[in-house]
Amino acid sequence: MADFRDAPHPARPSSAFARRKMGRLTTAAVVVTGLVAAGALAPLAAGARTVPAKHHDAVQQGLDSLVNDDKFPATLASVRDKDGRVRDYTAGVGDVKTGAPVPVDGEVRIGSNTKTFTATVVLQLVGEGKIDLDAPIEKYLPNLVRGDGIDGHKITVRQLLQHTSGLPDYDVDVTDDYVATKQHTHYEPRDLLDLGLSHKAVFAPGTGWSYSNTNYVVLGLLVQKITGRPVGEEITHRVIDRIGLRHTYWPALGDQSIHGPHPHGYFSPAPGTPMTDVTTSDPSAGWAAGQMISTPRDLNRFFGALVDGKLLPPAQLKQMETTVAAPGSAGRGDERYGLGLQTFTLSCGGTAWSHGGDYPGYSTTNAVSTDGRAVTLATTALPTSLNVLKDLENFVDAAVCE
């Protein structure tokens, strides 16, 4: 899904709702330089969860700066080097009322990282010959995608995956007045689609790029139509269980809690207003675009397995990694967007893969390189300015570029 802010700005497609709004401005810049020494990361068994000592390396310093300078209540990060060695980090407090510590590799709402899970399932179905990427969505969901300037005959599955369909976003409809009226609201997928289709098309299909959660609601409905099963069940069976993600799940209908150890998430409904604890909330506004819960380490494992070819056949992975220009898709500058996957330009040279996501109370920023390096950063509030968004991306860039 996208963002919950008040002034438009260019932003990455990493939120559960699309990043469209900004709140109070914070100008602190965290530029993390100097990284963890190559031999300093201890090897960990797959799935292990360890409590790290307080480090004084650049990664820890960067997390501390995000708390102290950018005023995030808490930050969590998991860093994996190219040899598979992992270190988990935390900073801040997990509960501002009690001062409880931040759980190591705690569970958070991962917002639009869900899109990459959904895209993976769609592309698996493409590989199985059940979906044609370049077929119109009308072929599979007849008479469903209709609106002002919107016709499912003219929108392909590929365009939905890469946000070139021109479908309008429903993010404002489910985020305005969030704490007062939307935090505990349940939405059916068709409710979300109807909200999106109530707006005029952004452009004719294939003539532009515009991040829209509505695209992935349609894709979730497509998965259900083809498989005859709930999209969350398909994601669980085809992705989560397949690669052994032990702390990643699709919340059940009506489940507003976070099951495992987790930091509290906070949201300020308007610039200058106090933050509200929104840890308990209904995630259905995200659905196939942003409903899931995971941890930094599990997200590293998922994106690593994906780019390593463990979830998709080579032909479908190549399609996923075929990108188009995505103006305004990142705080540090324009990136490119594939089929549920985005580029992340590295200051040390080369390009990693990413997505990221926001949901009220939580923000995640990540990158995984093709040589096995991976970093996921989670914060317990949304970035409040373009500068702060850059701080998050700079942190991940520096940690990957060790």
Residues catalogued as catalytic: 112
d(CA 390, CA 396): 10
Contact 51, 324 (CB under 8 A): no
Report the greatest alpha carbon distance in the chain: 58
d(CA 90, CA 377): 10
d(CA 358, CA 98): 25
The residue written with tokens 């540090």 in the block is 332
Q: How many Cα atoms are found within 13 Å in the side-chain-facing hemisphere of 62?
A: 30
307 Cβ partners below 8 Å, 6+ apart? 317, 321, 353, 368, 370
What are 366's strand-pairing partners? 376
Supply 72's token pair: 């995030």
Which 8-state DSSP code applies to residue 345?
Answer: E
CA 112 remoteness from chain centre? 3
β-pairing, 276-277 vs 266-267, is: antiparallel
> What is each CA distance from 314 to 129, 235, 332, in whole angstroms?
14, 20, 30
3-state secondary structure of 353: strand
d(CA 106, CA 264): 10
